[in-house]
Amino acid sequence: MLIALVLLPLGFLGWQGVQMLDSSDAMQRVRSEQLVAARLKNVDASIQAYLQQLALDWTSRLPGWPLQAEQLRERRSQEIRVRQLFLLDAGGRRTFPNGEMSQAERRFVERLQMVWDDPSILYATDDSQRLEEQRAVSSLVSRSKTADSPSGRHGWSVWHWGTGTQLLFWWQAPEGHTLGLEVESARIKSDLISLLPDDPAQGEGYSMRLKDSAGQIIYQWGRNAIGNEAPLSSTPLAYPLSSWSLEYFAEADVGVNSADFGLLILFLSLTLALIGMAIYLYREHTREMRLAAQRVAFVGQVSHELKTPLTNIRLYAEMLGDQLEDNPQQQRYLQVITNESQRLSRLIGNVLNFSREPKIHISPVAVDPLIRMIVDNFRPGFTAKGIQVALDLQADRLVETDPDQLEQILNNLLSNVEKYAAEGKAVDIASAVEGGMLVVRVRDHGAGIPPSERKQVFKPFYRINNRLTEGVSGTGIGLTIARQQAHRLGGDLLLSDARPGACFELRIPLTVTP
Amino acid sequence: MKPTKLKKMLLIVAGLFIGASSAQAQEVVLKAELGTPVVAAGARQTAFLKVSLTGFLLQGRGDRTPANIAIVLDQSGSMQGAKLERAKEAAIMAVDLLNDSDIVSIVSYDTTVQVIVPATPVRDKAEIRRAIQRMRADGSTALFAGVSKGAREVRKYMDGERVNRVILLSDGQANVGPRSATELGELGMSLGKEGISVTTIGLGAGYNEDLMTSLAGYSDGNHAFVDNADDLARIFSYEFGDVLSVVAQDLVIRIELKEGVRPMRLLGRDGEIFGSTVTTRLNQLYSDQEKYVMLEVEVPEGATGQLRDLADVEVSYQNMANQQKERLNDRVQVSYSASQQAVQQALVPSVVSTATRQVANEASKQALELRDKGQTQAAQKVLQESASYVREQAAALGGAEGAMLESFSDDVDQEAKAVVESEDWNRARKSIKAKQYKLEKQQKY
């Protein structure tokens, strides 16, 4: 019961919490997806801005360059982002490098053979280049994007060889000649690294990674540890570095955390409160039980001590009765003593029965005579209170059971009648054998037991709290013991409806198998 | 009054010194000379042309070129423990050598890059020290990114009047970001053009020496192999000694060979050869130190007694003493003689000696390539031949230079042994590579 008391509300709360988290999760996911996309775009944009700045710088300076080999070499040695450069005349013929060449220049001429064969490959528009790209079988692929301006055309051309993506920047003067710059790709990478954020001392909960066309990491920043996990999101860079990509790493539910945490705390504190309450209730309950057990043990002890003197009283009262003259006055007094000491020993028997498990002694019992004898025992009391006894005994056979227990049950029932139902002025006692069971019914005509109390009357120390019990002493264990004993005999004690009054029905099997 | 007297005397002595040093020109000394200024007549032959530049002496201690340095430190997992502690100490010691006219930045890298001290004038050394002390080792090695960020910090105070330098320390393979010797070389080239040199210090046996020498070589920085972390402080102090004694920057040497003279090859320092023009660059020249270009040329045949113009040499550089762009010129002539004795007598021992060392260095590089391909025996043969060539030259030269060459030939013998027998080839290779680099670039330490 207590466990259910704790678990039920927790289960409900948990379910509600999960529901709430689910919906906020979904919202958060959409929001974080947007955030991720924005961050990626932001980085891409700054890379684009860098390349545009580079192009702008060159287009503003290239027109001023002298075109003699020596000066071009001089420029090349100063341009920090240029590995090699070439000059094509208006007819598309290479005029630099040409003639006397250094080793590096010769290699450069070799690797750009495609350009010397067909310079239009540089200026080709996107569409035709794409076709070119599809047709290209070799790893040597180029693509260009062209921009026109009054000071000439310029654009990027992308090549793949050696250590990956290589950029060519070309500028065609209005006079027709073309200057081409082979960009130092390591320097571009280095510049981008300089441009991108450093690693902050405290991670912002996400990391990014810039990868080149071969899938090699160029740079990564953010949270220090990226394992082998797949990126949350990735995007290719814009042209001309479109074979490079940006990857975004983060724990999937970043941002939901704080809400999660709050809910978790709430849930935990509720759990704690409920468990605390349950523990309190449990302790209260066990304390009461302990007290009751102590009480019972004490009473049991006392009762046991009372048994011996009481036995002596009864013994000597009987001996006295035998020797007494026929003095009715004296006879009556002696009768009272005997009755009261019998009542006292029933009481003690009850208490002892409750406080310790009695042994059951099975023997053949003639039920009806037993009932008669018990009723006779009660007769003086009944007579005194004006209670008429109606007997209807039909169980005319031997029953295998414990006569002491059976007697005690009936004693209890009759004693209740005497105590609480005297105003009914009648008690009906019936016995019968029905369906292999011995049935004994004790029905009074008193005030009866309200339906709401019916279940409680069999509980120990429970006494119906109304005028019925007022002024009447009782231990509150009579019915409890009676029912326990009925159970021990393999049967049951039931309370059935009767108006007016109450009817207790004892059912026990005809043979008991202990 | 003794103290005043003493002061006076000191003043006079100091005055004498200052007088003496100011009498010395505050400019680079250019010397272009042939190993064999007199050649045998009647035959075509090769000769070594040495063009050397010597930095002038700095006047006083306070009077030096301000520096702009980024110290880029590896804090990957492999640096954990003593290595990182020694590196921190070395960096702290190095920062202590600087003053408030210098700029310093500290960058550390593992899987990512942290700029732990952004470029700043060296004023609050305690704060810089604290930042260095906070470094913790963990993660991989994003070397390329570390250098890139270091260069960016240098760029913030980029100035022709400063010595601009990135000092890189690494103990491992670059495994995040670009990692090939080619790419690092390209980066070095680009930074060199910009006026930033990268000095690379390899620690222990785990780093890639090809990558590190390539990066240093193309940017004209220094390179050192430090086997034991305890030596880091020493190497850092050498390096800072170099940096703080730069007297000239952005040097361009142009050798114009006269008609009939053909360039054969450059020994050591890289350069470009177009027809009869040879150009090479140095990012900086240190105080009182000689750097040179060794060019092997083919001299056409001539008649006895003929004097031939061989080459014109022009050098332009930024003089850090007066912050002026200056030019130097020299010319080289060769004369022909029938007398073998005259040829022999005219030999310039210092040039022959350095040329021999450079030729041996080329052989050493070739041997290393062979060894890398697994051709151990062939590599050894190349070195053995090289050693005997050096010994021949030593014998021919005689004198002090000859004796020094003789002992150098022993080094070559040692190397010949090492390529075959070395128990720890990984370490030996790093050591050889660093030696080659030192000779090629005439590195002081």
My answer on whether omega of the bond before A500 falls inside 30° of 0, hence cis, is yes
B98 found inside a domain: yes
| A interface test, pick of B148, B153, B218 with most A CB neighbours within 10 Å | B148
A233: Cβ–Cβ under 8 A, 6 or more apart, which residues? A33, A36, A37, A40, A247, A248
User: CA B425 to CA B410: how far, in whole Å?
Assistant: 19
- Average pLDDT, stretch A449-459? 79
Domain boundary (B224, B244, B264) is at B244
Angular region, B204: left φ>0, alpha ψ -120 to 50, beta rest: left
Is the pLDDT score of A348 beyond 70? yes
Task: List, in sequence order, every beta strand (DSSP E) within A306-404.
Answer: 363-366, 388-393, 398-401
Residues B239 and B251 in one domain: no
Q: For residue A198, give the nearest of B114, B178, B275 by CB distance.
A: B114
User: CA A394 to CA B108: how far, in whole Å?
Assistant: 106
Residues B210 and B270 in one domain: no
In the block, which residue shows the tokens 């000597």?
Answer: A316
Residue B284 bridge partners (DSSP): B249
The nearest CA of chain B is from the CA of A17 a distance in Å of 39
Predicted local distance difference test score (pLDDT) of residue B319: 92
Predicted local distance difference test score (pLDDT) of residue A384: 84
Predicted local distance difference test score (pLDDT) of residue B24: 53
Residue A214 contacts B where some CB pair is shorter than 8 Å: no
Predicted local distance difference test score (pLDDT) of residue B266: 93
| A interface test, pick of B109, B115, B134, B183 with most A CB neighbours within 10 Å | B183
The CATH number assigned to the domain holding B277 equals 2.60.40.3670
Phi, psi of B394 (to 5 degrees): -60, -45
Residue B151 contacts A where some CB pair is shorter than 8 Å: yes
Which range among A83-92, A244-253, B383-392 shows the weakest confidence by mean pLDDT?
A244-253
User: CA A454 to CA A505: how far, in whole Å?
Assistant: 13
Which range among A57-61, A350-354, B106-110 shows the weakest confidence by mean pLDDT?
A350-354
The count of domains in chain A is 3
Residues B157 and B84 in one domain: yes
Residue A225 contacts B where some CB pair is shorter than 8 Å: yes
Domain boundary (A181, A196, A211) is at A196
Residues of B in contact with A193 (CB under 8 A): 113, 144-145, 148-149, 177
A23 found inside a domain: yes
User: With an 8 Å Cβ cutoff, are B142 and A220 in contact?
Assistant: yes
Residues A345 and A467 in one domain: no
User: CA A459 to CA B91: how far, in whole Å?
Assistant: 87
Token pair of B371, please? 């060894």
- Decide: B401 and B196 in contact? Cβ < 8 Å: no
Token pair of A89, please? 């005349």
User: CA B247 to CA B161: how far, in whole Å?
Assistant: 10
User: With an 8 Å Cβ cutoff, are B110 and A224 in contact?
Assistant: yes
| B interface test, pick of A217, A228, A249 with most B CB neighbours within 10 Å | A217
Q: How confident is the model at residue A137 (pLDDT cuts 50, 70, 90)?
A: very low
Strand A217-222 with A233-236, pairing? unpaired
Is the pLDDT score of A163 beyond 80? no
The CATH number assigned to the domain holding B142 equals 3.40.50.410
Predicted local distance difference test score (pLDDT) of residue B248: 93
CA pseudo-torsion sign A88, A89, A90, A91: negative
Domain boundary (B178, B210, B244) is at B244
Predicted local distance difference test score (pLDDT) of residue A469: 59
Residues B84 and B218 in one domain: yes
Residues A308 and A378 in one domain: no
Q: How confident is the model at residue A120 (pLDDT cuts 50, 70, 90)?
A: confident
Residue B20 belongs to what H/E stretch?
Answer: helix B2-23
Of residues B398 and A462, the one with the higher pLDDT is: B398
Q: Which residue of A has its CA nearest to B186?
A: A186
Residues A410 and A350 in one domain: no
ipTM of the complex: 0.89
A217 found inside a domain: no
Residues B179 and B327 in one domain: no
Angular region, B332: left φ>0, alpha ψ -120 to 50, beta rest: beta
Residue B274 contacts A where some CB pair is shorter than 8 Å: yes
- Calculated CA dihedral for residues B262, B264, B267, B271, nearest 10 degrees: 70
B94 found inside a domain: yes
Token pair of B414, please? 């040692």
A464 found inside a domain: yes
Tens digit of each residue's pLDDT (9 = 90 or more) over A462-485: 666 555 555 556 667 778 888 888
User: CA A295 to CA B3: how far, in whole Å?
Assistant: 111
Q: Give me the domain span that covers residue A347.
A: 274-356
Residues of A in contact with B114 (CB under 8 A): 198-199, 201
Q: How confident is the model at residue A249 (pLDDT cuts 50, 70, 90)?
A: confident
Predicted local distance difference test score (pLDDT) of residue B62: 62
Q: How confident is the model at residue A378 (pLDDT cuts 50, 70, 90)?
A: confident
A248 found inside a domain: no
Instruction: Provide the 10 A C-beta neighbour count for residue B435.
Output: 16
Residues B98 and B76 in one domain: yes
A133: Cβ–Cβ under 8 A, 6 or more apart, which residues? A141, A143
Is the pLDDT score of A513 beyond 70? no
User: CA A468 to CA A449: how far, in whole Å?
Assistant: 9
User: With an 8 Å Cβ cutoff, are A81 and B110 in contact?
Assistant: no
B343 found inside a domain: no
The nearest CA of chain A is from the CA of B177 a distance in Å of 4
Q: How confident is the model at residue A141 (pLDDT cuts 50, 70, 90)?
A: very low
- Average pLDDT, stretch A330-341? 84
Predicted local distance difference test score (pLDDT) of residue B76: 93
Predicted local distance difference test score (pLDDT) of residue A258: 59
Predicted local distance difference test score (pLDDT) of residue A130: 43
A223 found inside a domain: no
The nearest CA of chain A is from the CA of B377 a distance in Å of 30
Q: Please give the mean pLDDT across all residues of chain A.
A: 82
Residue B39 bridge partners (DSSP): B336
Q: How confident is the model at residue A203 (pLDDT cuts 50, 70, 90)?
A: low
Is the pLDDT score of B298 beyond 90? yes
Residues A346 and A480 in one domain: no
Residues of B in contact with A100 (CB under 8 A): 274-275
Residues A58 and A187 in one domain: yes
Residues B187 and B279 in one domain: no
Q: For residue B114, give the nearest of A100, A102, A199 by CB distance.
A: A199
My answer on whether omega of the bond before A240 falls inside 30° of 0, hence cis, is yes
Alpha-helical runs (H) found in B220-339: 232-243
Instruction: Provide the 10 A C-beta neighbour count for residue B410.
Output: 12
Task: List, in sequence order, every beta strand (DSSP E) within B103-187.
Answer: 103-109, 113-121, 163-170
B189 found inside a domain: yes
Residues B236 and B310 in one domain: no
Predicted local distance difference test score (pLDDT) of residue A148: 60
Is the pLDDT score of B142 beyond 80? yes
Residue A107 contacts B where some CB pair is shorter than 8 Å: no
Residues A22 and A41 in one domain: yes
Residues B382 and B271 in one domain: no
Token pair of A96, please? 């630099």
CA pseudo-torsion sign A333, A339, A343, A346: positive
Residues A349 and A375 in one domain: no
Predicted local distance difference test score (pLDDT) of residue B411: 93
- Decide: B33 and B332 in contact? Cβ < 8 Å: yes
In the block, which residue shows the tokens 């001299």?
Answer: B299
- Express as a percent the part of chain B with pLDDT over 90: 81
A239 found inside a domain: no
Of residues A355 and A198, the one with the higher pLDDT is: A198
Token pair of B174, please? 């670059």
Residues A345 and A376 in one domain: no
Predicted local distance difference test score (pLDDT) of residue A133: 43
Is the pLDDT score of A257 beyond 50? yes
Domain boundary (A356, A390, A411) is at A356
Residues of A in contact with B274 (CB under 8 A): 69, 73, 100-102
Query: Tell me, what DSSP letter sits at residue A511?
Result: B
Is the pLDDT score of B214 beyond 80? yes
CA pseudo-torsion sign A51, A53, A56, A62: negative
Residues A314 and A392 in one domain: no
- Average pLDDT, stretch A32-55? 91
Is the pLDDT score of A104 beyond 50? yes
User: CA A496 to CA A449: how far, in whole Å?
Assistant: 10
- Decide: B322 and B65 in contact? Cβ < 8 Å: no
User: With an 8 Å Cβ cutoff, are A190 and B187 in contact?
Assistant: yes
Alpha-helical runs (H) found in A460-500: 478-488
Domain boundary (B284, B315, B338) is at B338
Residue B172 contacts A where some CB pair is shorter than 8 Å: no
Distance of CA A178 to the CA centre of its chain: 72
Residue A77 belongs to what H/E stretch?
Answer: helix A69-78
Q: Which residue of A has its CA nearest to B144?
A: A190
- Express as a percent the part of chain B with pLDDT over 70: 94
B356 found inside a domain: yes
B13 found inside a domain: no
Distance of CA B41 to the CA centre of its chain: 37
Domain boundary (A168, A196, A224) is at A196
Angular region, A134: left φ>0, alpha ψ -120 to 50, beta rest: alpha
Q: Give me the domain span that covers residue B189.
A: 67-244
- Average pLDDT, stretch B406-430? 93
Q: For residue B187, give the nearest of A104, A186, A217 by CB distance.
A: A186
User: With an 8 Å Cβ cutoff, are B145 and A185 in contact?
Assistant: no
The CATH number assigned to the domain holding B398 equals 1.20.58
Residues of B in contact with A225 (CB under 8 A): 111, 139
Predicted local distance difference test score (pLDDT) of residue B23: 41
Of the candidates B30, B26, B58, the residue with the CA atom closest to the CA atom of residue B252 = B30
Predicted local distance difference test score (pLDDT) of residue A202: 56
Query: Tell me, what DSSP letter sits at residue A99?
Result: S
Residues A339 and A459 in one domain: no
A314 found inside a domain: yes
Tens digit of each residue's pLDDT (9 = 90 or more) over B161-198: 899 999 999 998 999 999 999 999 999 999 999 999 99
Residues A167 and A21 in one domain: yes
Of the candidates A460, A511, A456, A513, the residue with the CA atom closest to the CA atom of residue A482 = A460
The nearest CA of chain B is from the CA of A194 a distance in Å of 5
In the block, which residue shows the tokens 């999660």?
Answer: A260
Tens digit of each residue's pLDDT (9 = 90 or more) over B423-443: 899 999 999 999 999 999 999
Token pair of A99, please? 């003639």
Query: Read out DSSP for A425-453?
Result: -EEEEEEEEETTEEEEEEEE-SS---GGG
B6 found inside a domain: no
User: With an 8 Å Cβ cutoff, are B187 and A226 in contact?
Assistant: no
A226 found inside a domain: no
User: With an 8 Å Cβ cutoff, are A219 and B151 in contact?
Assistant: no
User: CA A152 to CA A52: how far, in whole Å?
Assistant: 16
Phi, psi of B396 (to 5 degrees): -65, -35
Phi, psi of A449 (to 5 degrees): -120, 125
Residues of B in contact with A184 (CB under 8 A): 186, 189-190
Q: For residue B149, give the nearest of A101, A194, A216 by CB distance.
A: A194
Q: What angle do CA B295, B328, B298 make, to 5 degrees?
A: 20
Residues B82 and B212 in one domain: yes
- Average pLDDT, stretch B355-383? 95
Predicted local distance difference test score (pLDDT) of residue B329: 96
Predicted local distance difference test score (pLDDT) of residue B6: 54
B18 found inside a domain: no
Distance of CA B273 to the CA centre of its chain: 21
The CATH number assigned to the domain holding A455 equals 3.30.565.10
Residues A377 and A475 in one domain: yes
The count of domains in chain B is 3
User: CA B196 to CA B129: how far, in whole Å?
Assistant: 24
Residues B197 and B253 in one domain: no
Q: For residue B193, give the nearest of A78, A162, A186 by CB distance.
A: A78
Of residues B329 and B16, the one with the higher pLDDT is: B329
Is the pLDDT score of A312 beyond 80? yes
